């Protein structure tokens, strides 16, 4: 288990839903000082889409989020055709990966699989 989550206490609201997370003060200080590195994850559903269909990571994320190529292209400020070319590649330049990630609202490292 992750050391950061071992000592977390979850407080629930009257409906039983998580409302607050209580953590040790030392862990809190490490978080606010940026001393704890939290790696972004990739949902198994996204990986499954990519592997099962032989899609790029960008396409798997887009399909998982139920977005069209036009949606993502508009967010990037490019044409749908230009985005389609980027998405068809298994690997893209770092600058393109950063732009795609920003348009999808994910961390660029989540496109590296």
The predicted pLDDT at position 10 comes to: 87
Does residue 98 have a pLDDT over 50? yes
Structural domain includes residue 107 = yes
What proportion of the chain, given as a percentage, has pLDDT over 90? Answer: 64
Residue whose tokens read 């000082």: 33
For residue 90, being part of any structural domain is answered with yes
pLDDT of residue 72: 98
pLDDT(7) > 90: no
Together in a domain, 104 and 78: yes
Distance CA 100, CA 107 (A): 10
Lookup: tokens for 86: 């980027």
- Same domain for 53 and 87, yes or no, is yes
pLDDT tens readout for residues 38-81: 678 999 999 999 999 999 999 999 999 999 999 999 999 999 99
Return the residue matching tokens 């809190």.
Answer: 28
What is the three-class DSSP state of 104? helix
Q: Which residue range forms the structural domain that includes residue 95?
A: 44-111
pLDDT of residue 6: 64
105 in the same domain as 52: yes
For the chain, what is the domain count? Answer: 2
CATH assignment at residue 99? 1.10.260.40
């Amino acid at each position: 288990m992750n050391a950061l989550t071992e000592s977390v206490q979850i407080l629930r609201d009257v409906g039983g839903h998580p409302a607050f997370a209580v953590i040790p003060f030392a862990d809190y200080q490490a978080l606010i000082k940026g001393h704890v590195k939290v790696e972004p994850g990739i949902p198994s559903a996204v990986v499954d889409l990519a592997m099962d269909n032989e899609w790029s990571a960008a396409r798997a994320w887009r399909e998982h989020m139920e977005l069209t190529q036009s949606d993502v292209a508009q967010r990037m400020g490019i044409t749908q055709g230009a985005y389609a070319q980027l998405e068809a590649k298994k690997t893209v330049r770092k600058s393109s990966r950063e732009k795609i990630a920003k348009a999808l609202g994910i961390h660029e490292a989540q496109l590296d699989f």
